[in-house]
Structure 1
Amino acid sequence: MDRPRRCVLLKFGELALKGRNRPRFVNALERNLRRMTADLGPIEVRHRGGVFIVSGDMPQEELAERCLGLPGVSVVQPALRCERDATAAADAAVELLRELPGHTFAVRATRRDKRFALRSIELARLLGDAVRVRLGLDVDLSNPDLELFVEVDHKELLVSVERLRGAGGLPVGTSGRALVLLSGGLDSPVAAYRMMKRGLRCDFVHFSGRPFTSPESIYKAYALVGRLDRFQGDSRLYVVTFGPAQRRLATAGAGRLQVLSQRRLMVRVAAALGERLDAGALVTGDSLGQVASQTLPNLAVVEEAAQLPLLRPLIDRDKSEIVDAARALGTYDISILPDEDCCQLFTSKPASTRGHPDDLRRIERTADIEELVEQLAESAELFHPTLEERAMVSAATPASRGPSLG
């Protein structure tokens, strides 16, 4: 290795704590990494304990940026790879620090290979002297303007000046599969990503008010899944035509319980569909107290109807936190596009904040819900949104914004 080569270090978080199952998690992380970066070109991935050393012909900045969203990685660290020689490391350190603003610096050295001739403190002092003399910077170990990180690997030295916080969590697919109830709003995409970060591979189901609503919400759901697909690949979106079922609940006398009746039916249908997909849980974007249907009593009566565990990763989040997360995730601009919310169909004001299970069961018996659940699950339309189509939602005509819906 003549000149230092650019690479990106990916450091594990809680993944590093896994025991005998750790190889399964590491292999899943590498698969997800290769899929997420496939469009950038081939990459080389070297395993070094709790670290991946990733390199390729693409710009280092693009590779690092892509890796920041990869669940299972706690630290993303652009670095230079150089020979196992202190002089080479000093040259790399000067190259990295030369253009950075600051007057003071510190060197943090660690050795994964304890056979290296210099101890960590000796290596740090040697590099510090080189930087001080060649760049005129002062040493400040307590509160430096700049930090230089040097890691002694078995075959090379890794030098860096930047440590970026990664997504953390677990690799997608290591915790099983879940089905996300995707409304098209702000909350459910954020909830889905949080569950991906816990290792769940997510499928999605969207309930459309067709034929009583326009298809905009379906276009939004399609685009949202396309945006989330970059974290897992091969995402599946199921669209359920829900309008006639909503009218059936209304004619059964739901009244002020219309929204709760609809939500109970949604989780029943989602559970039936989820069992066919081998999903171990359902995921919703519920936040305690955010709307009338999300009071504690109403959350309980909705959960009673679910045949699968119901996960609510946003239950303690307020709206501003969810909005910030949606912006960071890249789903905000899609979620705020106008559409017709199917949940508002046939509703009576004000909605009940404390639905009683017996009243809801009476409405369900009148509407013959058991038959309806199977019909709706069987009729769900399947789409495969992809990353490349994520920009299709815009102010353009509906035909340019998603799948052909007939």
Structure 2
Amino acid sequence: MYNTYMIRYGEIGLKGKNRPAFERRLMGNISRALGMGFARVQRVYGRILVESDADPARIIGKLSKVFGIVGISPALRLPLTEQAICDGALAVLKDAAARVQMAVGEPLTFKVEARRSNKQFPRTSPEINGLVGAYLLDNFPGLQVDVHTPRIKVRVEIREQNAFVYADDIPGVGGLPVGASGKALLLLSGGIDSPVAGWMAMKRGIEIEAVHFHSFPFTGEKSLEKVRDLCRILTGYTAQITLHVVHFTDIQKEIQRSCPEELRVTIMRRMMFRLAARIAEDAGALALVTGESVGQVASQTLESMRVINQVIDIPVLRPLVGMDKHEIISRAKVIGTYETSVLPYEDCCTLFLPKHPATRPRPDQVLEAEKALDVEDLLAGALERTVAENIKQ
């Protein structure tokens, strides 16, 4: 029945002179999400319109994962005539009424909300409300008006070329279009936290690439495939993700052999950050993204974060910093990564874990411990064996 999907966005509308650039980015992301050639994407003032003959459930499912969209409404695109608008409103009302759950004897209530951006149309918004409302009351038995809490809102938008009528408002994920805020590199472990952090970074318009530290043979192919699967899930919200797989075994073995047990986690994280910063530079990424939350584990105390951060000069974004584990798990379930994250395959962060890792490491202690390592040689060896994979939807 519906021939158009009306897309609403939120904070993009507040971007002033930069607004057209954000709108174009959003339109491009919509086209990629739906598949080039399968939809026509058009910009009108304050809205983006999508036309497609594909299955509506598929279209809505794809659009609901595009960052920047706050609402999706299947709509009828109609000629700018009063009769066409009234007939379209009746069709939309009947479709919405068929899906409303009501108790026996409960009246079906409605309200018409008109918006006239085309000032050449001969009727004002209040006049359209009255005209369409009267027509619906005359042609739909048992209908009642409720301007405060109606069961159905029939919305009419009068544009330059057409009128649009719709009732449903399906929520989107909001945020900013991916790519509008630059690129960052996500440290993706395979656990619960880091995929959520990547999702939240993308919600702020950040395009992400991912880096995973693989400790073969201590972590096997199933562990790596789990990380690939997490990337695939995240690509439901973006076009693709480049995954950099770093051979980390030699570094971990050398840390275990040469460094004090209580500082192994701290030194391991410092090596990860060094590697990630160099990969980010080559990839054109402007920041790192991690799944750290203050106080969650030994390496996530403020003292540990300070010491770990000292080895790089690139910003580190921690979207989960104020969330507790319950909140992170809840978000992981919503975005679809939780079931994959809890699969029982170890990652490198759980290997060689000391019984009592330092929670308040001092910079001088760590620098002294690292003297036992040939840091540059270890980094060069790991980078030489790093492989980049392109993960698509």
TM-score, normalised via structure 2 length? 0.93
* Root-mean-square deviation over aligned CA pairs: 1.6
Structure 1 unaligned regions, length at least 5: 388-406
Match of 1:195 in 2: 201
**CA distance in structure 1 between the aligned counterparts of 2:266 and 2:119, rounded to whole angstroms:** 63
Matched, 1:27 2:33: no
**CA distance in structure 2 between the aligned counterparts of 1:323 and 1:6, rounded to whole angstroms:** 38
- Say if 2:66 and 2:238, in contact at 8 Å, map to a contact too: no
Match of 2:76 in 1: 80
- Give the letter for the 1:108 counterpart: E
- Say if 2:3 and 2:51, in contact at 8 Å, map to a contact too: yes
**CA distance in structure 1 between the aligned counterparts of 2:367 and 2:137, rounded to whole angstroms:** 76
Match of 1:54 in 2: 50
Instruction: Indicate the SS of the match to 1:226.
Output: helix
- Give the letter for the 2:58 counterpart: E
Instruction: Indicate the SS of the match to 1:235.
Output: strand
Give the alignment of 1:101-116 within 5 angstroms: 101=100, 103-116=108-121
Deviation at 1:5, TM superposition (A): 4.7
Instruction: Indicate the SS of the match to 2:184.
Output: strand
User: How big is each residue's C-alpha offset from its partner over 1:42-70, in whole Å with a ceiling of 9 and x where there is no partner?
Assistant: 21122111211111111223212211111
Deviation at 1:266, TM superposition (A): 0.5
Match of 2:105 in 1: none
- Give the letter for the 1:275 counterpart: E
- Say if 1:6 and 1:60, in contact at 8 Å, map to a contact too: no
Instruction: Indicate the SS of the match to 1:297.
Output: helix
Matched, 1:263 2:269: yes
Paired positions, count: 383
Match of 2:359 in 1: 353
Matched, 1:163 2:169: yes
- Give the letter for the 1:296 counterpart: L
1:120 corresponds to which of 98, 121, 125: 125
Instruction: Indicate the SS of the match to 2:183.
Output: strand
- Give the letter for the 1:80 counterpart: L
**CA distance in structure 2 between the aligned counterparts of 1:215 and 1:175, rounded to whole angstroms:** 34
Matched, 1:367 2:367: no
Match of 2:11 in 1: 14
- Give the letter for the 2:115 counterpart: T
Structure 2 unaligned regions, length at least 5: 103-107
- Say if 1:191 and 1:285, in contact at 8 Å, map to a contact too: yes
**CA distance in structure 2 between the aligned counterparts of 1:30 and 1:169, rounded to whole angstroms:** 14
User: How big is each residue's C-alpha offset from its partner over 1:129-153, in whole Å with a ceiling of 9 and x where there is no partner?
Assistant: 1222222211111111111111111
Match of 2:291 in 1: 285
Give the alignment of 1:132-171 within 5 angstroms: 132-135=137-140, 136-171=142-177
Q: Which moved more, 1:296-305 or 1:169-178?
A: 296-305
Give the alignment of 1:371-386 within 5 angstroms: 371-386=377-392
- Give the letter for the 1:49 counterpart: Y
Q: Which moved more, 1:294-303 or 1:46-55?
A: 294-303
Identity of aligned residues (%): 37
- Give the letter for the 2:86 counterpart: A
Deviation at 1:345, TM superposition (A): 2.0
TM-score, normalised via structure 1 length? 0.90
**Structure 1 residue runs of 4 or more that deviate by more than 3 Å after TM superposition:** none
- Say if 1:8 and 1:60, in contact at 8 Å, map to a contact too: no
Deviation at 1:172, TM superposition (A): 1.2
Match of 1:394 in 2: none
Deviation at 1:22, TM superposition (A): 2.5
- Say if 2:70 and 2:173, in contact at 8 Å, map to a contact too: yes
Deviation at 1:9, TM superposition (A): 0.7
Change (3 A) 1:85 1:5: farther
Matched, 1:95 2:95: no
User: How big is each residue's C-alpha offset from its partner over 1:106-136, in whole Å with a ceiling of 9 and x where there is no partner?
Assistant: 1111112122111101101111112222222
**CA distance in structure 2 between the aligned counterparts of 1:208 and 1:115, rounded to whole angstroms:** 64
Deviation at 1:241, TM superposition (A): 1.4
